Amino acid sequence: MTVDFDGRRRELTDQIAALGPTLPGSLVSRSSRCGNRNCHCHTDPEMRHGPYWTWTRSVSGKTVTRALTDEQAERYRAWFDNARRLRELVDQLKKLAIEQAETDDQWPAS
């Protein structure tokens, strides 16, 4: 059985080309308790303040976090999803290249 490496590679690169904007990192929703001991957030975990949205990513080996508004989180959520999908597709391309190399007559035997 012959594997169509070029066809599979083309499918993956077409999916990459179809992605929209991407943002690296994570979109995280957090809730918290305030400093007022009499506030409802201290007695009921379901009543904590928030959600507060943050974008966390690594820049030159350092973690960088930026606060986002609800509107920004909603607007850019798809960009984070696109970045995750891009990583998945690139991983598939890498696996495909390894598979192709291992079936190549010129590839060194193990």
Give the torsion sign (CA, 67, 73, 78, 84).
positive
Choose between 69 and 110: higher pLDDT: 69
Average pLDDT (29-34) is: 92
The yes-or-no verdict on residue 1 having pLDDT over 80 is no
Domain spans in the chain, listed from the N-terminal domain onward: 5-103
Residue 105's pLDDT is what? 79
Residue 14's pLDDT is what? 98
Residue 20's pLDDT is what? 96
What tens digit of pLDDT does each residue of 69-109 get? 999 999 999 999 999 999 999 999 999 999 999 888 787 87
